[in-house]
Structure 1
């Protein structure tokens, strides 16, 4: 029996080849999403619904609200704490969803402060920034909602509610972002609109906050929209990471990082009264 258990030594180039192959076949958010996975649907008021997906280490949440069935409002929060604490103050019995909003930076004293156009109840809270990408979600608070590209984002100043964010990930039904060196894995949320005014909110989450790149998230968004048979005119990404949040009061669930963070603002979707 001597010699049967000799050690197996592989050349360095074969070890590198095997390691490369393992990386190539490692799962990503998009590749895992395209495989069969459990899906659950929860009906909200009107014809709105929430669909949750679980695949691999990821969770995907889609909220679909038909046109004119939601009153969309923007709220400046400036809350340090958990998402649940931040959103509790703007949640009512008619709330369909609350979504984490735009970006924040730091003032001269080193304190967190919202950045990008923010309008609440016809009052400008934060000024518009001429970024090179992104756009502005604008609403009259009575059922009419638009997403303007950054080039015409100042139009948001004419609306009762507005929130600037970036980038636009879907344009005319197609993915509108490409991979760059800063496109890392983070939790993601985006809000999109059809020409008719249907709303599709999508959130991609991971237990360690490493959900996916913008490109992966955008491809998933397009696949979800295509499966629903809706063509998204524009979908605007909200802040990622800890700021990527979807709160569904009727389900008593919040999706996203549960830790402490700073929440500059949020978008609320209320069930519209029947006309």
Structure 2
């Protein structure tokens, strides 16, 4: 009799367990199962390595030069988000360097208006210009020809297709912003940074080779490249990533 009771008890437990398992399975079938996207699927992250260190990079390829604008931000001090909303930017990157007095260092021309004249500077030795006809150039001098956009920055990283060797007394690891031109005249803005700490990035001395590595990786030929303001006073925005500034950016390129 005792054995019969034990058998009946075990059968009852099994039946209850089966019913619970069936209910759980039916409940799970009713819930939609979503795959959690990886970071690379969200941001399409690309990386490049130099001297054993890996850096994330992203770029903006300007599709229509007439939609590219250089806005001063020395007095306005708009944040990245405020700039995007105010000017309707689909892409944005920080521009040139500025002084402690919140004024541009060297040449600064916005919509053909000269805000600051060029200045002789060994570090900021390059000029990015864009004419009203959409002809872009990066050169070591600016002769005063009419341009819609003109910005002095530096140093020059690539000139006439040749990587420039940079000898710097003081160098540090910081997020970098670069403007580069192809032989077809296409404009690229590129940022390099550390994925774990976004305000950290490569040494300035390593930047020419990093830009060159990208062109080799993607079969793009840059004939010239120029370093723009980076570090804490830099920002970068496209449809994949948003890198905000820590301190105000002095100016920014906005593609509408």
**Distance change >3 Å, CA 117–CA 87, structure 1 → 2:** farther
Q: What is the aligned partner in structure 1 of residue 26 from structure 2?
A: none
The within-5 A match list for 1:199-210 is 199-206=187-194, 207=197, 209-210=199-200
CA deviation string 1:166-204 (max 9, x = no partner): 111112333213242312111101001022102222101
1:59 partner SS: strand
Of the three residues 127, 131, 138, the one matched with 1:136 is: 127
User: Is 2:136 the partner of 1:145?
Assistant: yes
Of the three residues 156, 163, 180, the one matched with 1:175 is: 163
Q: What is the aligned partner in structure 1 of residue 152 from structure 2?
A: 164
User: Is 2:131 the partner of 1:99?
Assistant: no
1:132 partner SS: coil
2:60 partner SS: strand
Of the three residues 65, 73, 77, the one matched with 2:73 is: 77
Which one has a larger percent strand, Structure 1 or Structure 2? 1
Q: What is the aligned partner in structure 1 of residue 255 from structure 2?
A: 269
Inter-partner Cα distance in structure 2 for 1:62 and 1:130? 30
Confirm or deny: 8 A CA contact 2:158 2:225 kept in the other structure: yes
User: Which runs of 5 or more residues in structure 2 are unaligned?
Assistant: 1-38
CA deviation string 1:104-156 (max 9, x = no partner): 1133xxxx22222111121111111122242111112553211121xx2234x
Inter-partner Cα distance in structure 1 for 2:167 and 2:45? 26
RMSD over aligned Cα atoms? 2.7
Confirm or deny: 8 A CA contact 1:72 1:141 kept in the other structure: no
Of the three residues 57, 60, 63, the one matched with 2:57 is: 60
Which one has a larger percent helix, Structure 1 or Structure 2? 2
**Distance change >3 Å, CA 219–CA 64, structure 1 → 2:** same
Inter-partner Cα distance in structure 1 for 2:222 and 2:193? 22
Count of residues in Structure 1 that have an aligned counterpart in Structure 2: 210
Inter-partner Cα distance in structure 2 for 1:124 and 1:130? 17
**Distance change >3 Å, CA 124–CA 179, structure 1 → 2:** same
Of the three residues 131, 143, 147, the one matched with 1:154 is: 143
Q: CA deviation at 1:211?
A: 0.8
User: Which runs of 5 or more residues in structure 1 are unaligned?
Assistant: 1-37, 43-50, 271-275
Inter-partner Cα distance in structure 1 for 2:130 and 2:41? 30
